[in-house]
Structure formats: C-alpha cells, structure tokens
Amino acid sequence: MDIFLQQLINGLVQGSVYALVALGYTMVYGILGLINFAHGEVVMVGAMVALTALQALLAAAFAPVLAVLFSLMLAVAACMALGYGIERIAYRPLRNAPRLAPLITAIGVSIVLQNLAMMIWGREYHAFPLPFNNGLHEMGGAIITDVQIVIVLVALVMMAGLMGVVHRTRMGRAMRAVAENPSAAALMGVDINRVISATFMLGSALAAVAGLMVSANYGIVHYYMGFMLGLKAFTAAVLGGIGNLRGAMLGGVLLGLIESLGAGYIGDLSGGFLGSHYQDVFAFFVLIAVLVLRPSGLLGERVAERA
Amino acid sequence: MKLHRPANRHLLLALALLVLPFVIDALFGHGWVRIADFALLYIMLALGLNIVVGYAGLLDLGYIAFFAVGAYTYALLGSPQFGLHWPMYVVLPLGALFACFFGVLLGAPTLRLRGDYLAIVTLGFGEIIRIFMNNLNAPVNITNGPQGISSIDPLHVGTFSFAGQHELFGIGFSSVHQHYYLFLAFTLLVAFVSLRLQHSRIGRAWMAIREDEVAANAMGINTRNIKLLAFAMGATFGGISGGLFAGFQGFVSPESFSLMESIMVLCMVVLGGMGNITGVVLGGVLLVVLPEVFRHGAGPLQQALFGKIVVDPESLRMLMFGLALILVMLWRPAGLWPSTQRRRELMPDESVAQQEQDTVYDSAK
Amino acid sequence: MTQPNDMLLNLAGVCKHFGGLAALSGVSLHIKRGEIYGLIGPNGAGKTTLFNVITGLYQLDEGTFNFDGSDYACCKPHVLAQAGIARTFQNIRLFANMSALENVMVGRHLRTRSGIWGALTRNRAARVEEQAIEERAHELLRYVGIHRPSNTLAKNLSYGEQRRLEIARALATEPKLLALDEPAAGMNATETESLKELMKKIRASGITVLLIEHDVKLIMGLCDRVAVLDYGKKIAEGVPEQVRNDAAVIAAYLGTDSPRPHAGEGQGVRVSE
C-alpha cells in the first residue's frame, strides 16, 4: 500500500510540472495551430536563469526566501522575453506559410537554444542549491517533501490564475476569440499580434515556473533537460485534447500518474519480464490507446467533419 | 551536344554521379566519400518520408523507427549475435518487409487521427521501438541493449564484399567507393519509384487526401487504405535504408535511432521542398553535408579568428545548424526547391477562403 | 412498401441525433430515376444533415436507406460513391492546390484500377487507362463549361468556375445520383441561369439530380418534385406547384425567414411570385 501511495505522490508532483508545461503547448496550439517545439527549451532556460540568479543571490547573502523569489521573478521575466522573441523571429513571419515551415523553425530554435545553453552553462550537470532544509513528511507510509508540497500548491495556484486570466480578463477574452476564429476576431478590433505575443509570454512564464520546480525537485539542472520534459508535456497536452486548457491540466497530471504507477508496477504486471526502463513505453502505449479510442484526446472537442 | 535535350541532360547527370566519388576523394579526401555514402542513405530515408509527409500529408515524427527495424533485422540475421550470417539478398528484403509490417501495424489503428495527433502517436511509436531495442537485453538477450550489435557482416553478394578492395580496369575501388555505387543504385531506384508513383492514379489519390480528406473520401477514394499504402511504402524504403546502414556501418545501437534522427529526416524533406523529389534530394545532401562542413570549419575558424578555441566546436556546429534551419525556412517557407504546385500555393492567395466568407454574406441566410 | 423499379433512392424513417438534438426525425424520401429532386427548407431544417446521411458522411441512427435496390445504411462515403452517389459541397471543397484537370482526374479514381505495379512499370494497360482518365477529364471540364488552361490551380479559378469544377469532379465518378449542396449559393443571375442549363443537360444525360437550394425560384423552375424540411421533419412533398401552395410550407417560411430587401434579385425566399 505504501508503494502505491508513494508512486501516487510522485506522479502527482511530476504531473503538476507536466501540466504547467503542457499549458504552454496547448495555448499556442489553440491559437496558432502550431506545435511550439521550442517550448521545452524555454523551461530549461528558466531553470538555468533561476540557477544562476539563485547562486549569485545566495552568495551575496540574501535571505533564502527573497533569493528564491527574486530568482523566480528573474527567470519568469527572462522566459517571457524569450517567448516573445521566439514568436517574433521564428513564427510570425511564417504565419501564412505552409503548415510545416514553422515546425522546422521551431526545431531550429530548439537546437539553437540547447546549444547556446551548453555554451553558456556548460555540458555538466549542475546541482540546484536549496536554501532551505527540505523537510520530509510521512503520510500513511509514504514520504512527501516540502518542495513537493510547494510544487503541487504552486501549480494549483498558477492553473487557477491562468483560468482566471483566460476567462475573466479582456486579454483572456481576446485570446479565446482569436482561438475560435482569428479573422473574425480581427474584424471585431482584436489586435491579433498582441494577443499572440501575450499568449507566448504567458505560456513562457508558466514554463519558467515549471523549470524552477523540476530543478528544485530533482536538485539537478542540465542543458538537455528541456527536450524530454517538453516532449512529455506535449504528449500530456495531446492526451488531454490539444487546444483545451483543462485537457492540458488533466493530461499532465494523468501522464505523471501513469508514468510513476507504470514504473512501479510494470514489473509485476508483466511477470518480471519488463523492468521500470519501460516506463516511457507504458506512457506512450497509454497515449496511443487513448487516442485510438478518443481521437481528439480526453477533453478534446469532437470536431464533427463538416461538409 | 545540346544541353536542353532531356536525354543529354540525363546522360550528363549520370556521368557526374559516376565520377563524383573520385572527384570528392581527390578534392576533399577519403572521409568525405564516406559522408557522401551517408548522404545517400539519408536521401533514401528522406524520399521514403516524402511519400508519407510530402505526398499524403501525414505528419510522421517517428519515421526513424522503420530505419531501425531494417537495421536491426540486418544486424540480428547477419552477425555473431545469434551466429546467423544470412546473405544480404535475403536479409535486406526481409528488413524491408518487417519495416512494412510495422508500418501497417502502426498505421492501421492510428491513421484516422487528425494531423498533429498522428504526429504525436508516430513520435511515441518511434520512442517505443527505440526503448525496446535499448532494453531487450534482459531477461533474454536479443538486441544487446545499449551496447548495440557489432561485427555485423559487411554488405556482400556471394564472395564479393563491398567492404573489400577491388580493382577494375586498373582503377582501385575502396570500400567507400563501392558502397557509394551500391547506395546510389538503391537511391535511384527509390527516386524512380517515387517519381512514377507521384504521377499516377495512386499519387493523385495521396495528394487529394493531403488537400482535403473529406472531399477525397466523398469522391470514392478509400482514404484509409490509400493512407496505409503511403505509410507502408515509406516504411519499406526506411527498412531498406536501415539494412544498408547496418551493413555499411558494421555496428548498430539504439543511439542511432533517436527522435532527433526522425526530426532530421523530416527537416530534409521540408527544407528541401516537400513533395518534390529534387528538393528532397537537395535537402538530404545539405543536412548531411552542412553539419560536416561546420564540424570541420568550426575549430579552424576560431583558431584563425581568436587564436584559440573559444567555444566547443561541437556545440558551435549544432548552433550554426539550428540557425541555418531557421534562416532557410524564413527565406524560403516552401523549401529550397518546392514542387511547382507548392510554389504556386505560396502566392498570397486566399481566394477560396475569401470567397467562402463572401458566400456567407451574400446568400440569404 | 413496394419498391417500384423506377425508384433510385428510398429513405424511410431516417433519424439522426447529435447529442440530445434530433436533427432528423423520421424523414422519408423517394427519388425517382431521371428526375431533378429539390430539397428546401429554412435554415437549420436539417437539409445538410440529410444530405450528409445520403452521402455517407454521417451514419443514420434509425431508418432504412435503399439505393438502386441495395441497402446502404451506415456505409462510408467512398462506398456510396462506388454505389453511384456523387456530391458537391456547400462551401466548396476542391483540392485547392491541384490543377483543375487533376481535380477531375481524382474523380476517376474509383472507376479505374491501375495500382502500384501499373504506376511503376507504366505497362500498356496503365498507359491506356491514364490516357483515358485524362481525356475524360478534359471532356468533363468542357462539359461543365470551364475553358481555362487545364493546369490552372483549382483555387485560382473564379467562384463560379469552382462550383462547376466540383460538379465536373463529381460527374467523373459516373454517378447515378448527383447530389448538389446549394450549387447556386453566391452566384449572380447569369451564372445561376447557366447552372440551371447545366443541370438540365446532366439530367438529359440520364443522371438523377438531388438539389438542395435556398433559391426557391431556382428550385421551382427546375425541379420535377420538391420536398420541404422543417425542424428535421418532412412537412411537404410533391410537384413545385403543389408545394408552393402548401399551408405548412408557407407557415414554416414566413415564421422563420422574412423576405430580404434584395429578394427581387432572386436571392432570399419568396413563397409565391
């Protein structure tokens, strides 16, 4: 029982991170119909900037809480600028180009960011300094850390905040309008370019927060961390139904749970034939199965073929 | 000789392709002939993927899996791993067949998915294949896990091995030269098949599906089968290319079949010019050769500029590569050498959509 | 019910639901061979839904669907195309980046058979077939009155030509029943007139036509019989004269759609002239 609970907790924590990153993918997809392949690298840049800032601030004997908050703000600002820049440079000029052109520039941006990060921060794994004592709590035989609790709480707050922005503000309304029908929104006086920029910045801000979270949770930062994380988050977004915010959250949490429960039980399920290395296989199998049964993802709109 | 006569142009092209390895050898050295060999393998892959993405419009992000299936088939049946040393003319077709089988296996349940959903499913499939190859060393050792399989039999027919030295008319042919001609033959075959299919009833059906699947279905095209056919054809070419790769390299490991490789092949197709064979070939050549140029250029260039190595040449090479991808796409969104159709498509023309809008306002609704 | 031989399409008790919404409830239609059959009704009456059921895009929930003597309930669109039902689309769905000729050639797909082998070897059979496809496509382009270079991309054709190209593409499938979804939408009076001639020509060649239209004037002047849908039910059927004076029809139209200012141009709905 405690293994189950432990895997559940781990899955929930991992899933919260996936959900935050998946939101970035899904927002961009909802508005532009574009897979922003570079989004994972934005997470990585967020983690790296936070790392550097935190190291500097701690060295300057800042109070730990302030240091963490400042570096988070710095990371968010840096990522928002980065997200804005990526859209301006790599996507906006291609808005009316063939569908796959922006996909290739996205891949290009991803490669550039990865290698820039490698030049700046090096190839090695960096330990992420935790200025607090990461306390352990026992819950019914399972262990949860302070950092994990904070991750889940912050993720919840961010998601609630995002829903608030999207559903209660003028900009959010404009976003939904552009997602529905860009040309009609433009006719109604919505500045599409501003809305798209805002979407990228919002998604990148979430990515920065997610970057800090994973780094704190695993205590490690690496220039390559964004790639797999981005891939998983994109998978989560599709699982939930891409373009759908609630779907991204649900997909993220589900993918986290599937992975961690899969890793914990796949050995038993397969009679010891498959080990926990197959955790990713398990996740992708579930994805394929879900999509075969529900072609538009779990919460995706069933787009009836219109004649 | 009149160059504008197609027959003459073809003859000239054939001659150029025949002497190319010797020219490369003389100008740049042996290593570059080897790179040319790899370029041919990648062109084969890109042509295969072009059928799926360029013709039928199905975004496949896990295409390298079929390459992997072909490579591992060759590796397992032609190496000391199981002590099997089957001949190339059995193993290559078998690899193609397996790849085709996996293509159908993946395609049958998933081809009704819409564009980007299909992309993620194929991506997942590619990862699944790679993870299995990485882990099928326990409890029963099949693939040798991450170490991969080495000492794979060279490509050979009877006693003639493509890896040995041979002499013909007093000209010495080394391993890389012979592989060049072998791969060239296969690449030409794949290009020929692609070209013939493109201008056929089947090719038209693929393009119709790419343009509008609902309309294609309504016109009596069995979209599921035709899409499956594209998938199977693409996979088959991937399998052949993979088998050749295993025999040429003498070694395979899961590392060669990562997602990045799939993306690379996709880049070749899109960058060169989707749907157009010349464009795809161009894309393949560029994406194999460019990184090599950067690899050889990044170090010396820094030495010349700064007198020392400032940044890691490997990452500088990838950085330049990424930049090249972005710049080329911004400069030519339809690819370097798009098909005439794609070129026309790019003209600022939303007439259909615009008129649809007008209809809405005009008709009495 | 008896099925006389002159019946081409028989629908009985067709129901189609979307969630809780009944788009069609118990609709029956009988289309005779060689007639032009009109289907009209106010917006949201279920015309396009019915049309999509007939062409296989939607699967019916209840009812029977008999075409040319066989049952085709719940068949895929390509099966129905094979059976001999071809269609056009209300918002034009051409293969925009293929040439006009290629669009029509795609329509020949299901009446031709050369496969991979034929494509690769270009053997005699494949070459002959390909040539026949191309000739027939040229013929059909002329037939519907598109006199542009045949390699013009579909999306670069004028609006009226695009509508005609859709018809040519549908005709290429050798249909028994040609189903047209608002072919005159957005056309001016001259274009509508020549479209009318085209439809008469098609009927004269022995193809049955099913026509959905908003332009009541066009329907009344062209169709042999007309059915009126309202709220997913058939409220009237018969010769135009009879339907025009049907009280239920007048109520359905006047209740939901008032005549538009420029109705004099033939747009909009006028129950009597």
Please identify among residues 150-179 of chain B the ones whose CB lies closer than 8 Å to any CB of chain A.
none
CB atoms B311 and A285 under 8 Å: no
pLDDT of residue B299: 74
CB atoms B318 and A90 under 8 Å: no
Confidence of residue B362 (pLDDT cuts 50, 70, 90): very low
CB atoms A281 and B132 under 8 Å: yes
Tens of pLDDT, residue by residue over C153-199, are 998 999 989 999 999 999 999 999 999 998 888 888 888 889 999 99
B365 lies within 8 A of chain C by CB? yes
Handedness of CA B332, B334, B338, B341 (dihedral sign): negative
Residue type, B278: T
CB contact at 8 A, B262 and B62: yes
- Domain range spanning residue A114? 2-122+140-293
CB contact at 8 A, A196 and A87: yes
In a domain, A129, yes or no: no
Tens of pLDDT, residue by residue over B37-73, are 999 999 999 999 999 999 999 989 999 999 999 999 9
Least confident of A58-67, B111-120, C15-24: B111-120
Pull the structure tokens for residue B83: 């002590």
Number of CB atoms found within 10 A of residue C118's CB: 21
CB atoms C109 and B363 under 8 Å: no
Residues of B in contact with A93 (CB under 8 A): 330
**Which architecture, in CATH terms, is B28-273?**
Orthogonal Bundle (1.10)
| Chains contacting B (3 or more CB pairs within 8 Å) | A, C
Domain layout of chain B by residue ranges: 28-273, 338-365
Q: HSE-up of A189 (CA within 13 Å, CB side)?
A: 1
Average pLDDT of chain A is: 88
Q: How many residues does chain A have?
A: 307
Extended beta strands in chain A, E state: 126-127, 136-139, 142-145, 220-221
Q: HSE-up of C235 (CA within 13 Å, CB side)?
A: 22
Nearest to B44 by CA among B201, B182, B215: B182
Q: Give the C-alpha separation, A31 to A89, whole Å.
A: 17
In a domain, A302, yes or no: no
CB atoms C92 and B342 under 8 Å: no
| Residue B139: cis peptide before it, omega within 30 degrees of 0 | yes
Tens of pLDDT, residue by residue over B129-153, are 998 998 888 778 888 888 888 888 8
CB atoms A295 and B312 under 8 Å: no
Shortest Cα distance, chain A CAs vs residue C148, angstroms = 26
CB atoms B365 and C186 under 8 Å: no
The residue to which tokens 């005009």 are assigned: B362
The residue to which tokens 């579930």 are assigned: A286
Residue C85 has pLDDT above 90, yes or no: yes
The ipTM of this complex is: 0.87
DSSP element (H, E) containing B92: helix B88-110
For chain A, the domain total comes to: 1
Residue type, B71: A
Helix (H, G, I), strand (E, B) or coil at B247: helix
Q: B151-169: b or e for each residue (b if 16 or more CB lie within 10 Å)?
A: ebbbbbeeeebbbeeeeee
Confidence of residue A72 (pLDDT cuts 50, 70, 90): very high
Least confident of B262-276, B324-338, C220-234, C256-270: C256-270
- Is beta strand C70-71 parallel, antiparallel or unpaired with respect to C85-87? unpaired
Extended beta strands in B219-342, E state: none
Q: Hey, of A25, A94, A107, which one would you mutate to test binding to chain B, going by the most B CBs within 10 A of its CB?
A: A107
pLDDT of residue A285: 84
In a domain, A130, yes or no: no
In sequence order, the 6+-apart residues with CB closer than 8 A to the CB of B49 are B60, B63, B234, B238, B265, B266, B268, B269
In a domain, A284, yes or no: yes
A268 lies within 8 A of chain C by CB? no
Rg (CA), chain C: 19
CB atoms B205 and C159 under 8 Å: no
Of all residues in chain A, the one with the smallest CA distance to B138 is A273
Q: How remote is the C-alpha of C12 from its chain's centroid? A: 19
Nearest to C99 by CA among B231, B222, B339: B339
Of all residues in chain A, the one with the smallest CA distance to B341 is A98
Average pLDDT of chain B is: 85
pLDDT of residue A273: 66
Of all residues in chain C, the one with the smallest CA distance to A307 is C89
Of C77, C119, C260, the CB nearest to B202: C119
Residue type, C33: R
Residue type, C110: L
Please give the backbone phi and psi of residue A267, each rounded to the nearest 5 degrees, phi first.
Answer: -60, -50
Q: Give the C-alpha separation, B355 to B104, whole Å.
A: 40
- The CATH number of residue A11's host domain is 1.10.3470
Of B200, B212, B342, the CB nearest to C95: B212
Please give the backbone phi and psi of residue A249, each rounded to the nearest 5 degrees, phi first.
Answer: -65, -50
Confidence of residue A272 (pLDDT cuts 50, 70, 90): low
| Chains contacting A (3 or more CB pairs within 8 Å) | B, C
A187 lies within 8 A of chain C by CB? no
Q: How many contacts (CB atoms, under 8 Å) link B and C?
A: 148
Tens of pLDDT, residue by residue over A121-155, are 988 899 998 888 888 888 888 888 989 999 999 99
Confidence of residue C253 (pLDDT cuts 50, 70, 90): confident
CB contact at 8 A, C40 and C216: yes
Pull the structure tokens for residue C196: 């009318």
**End-to-end alpha-carbon separation of chain C, Å?**
36
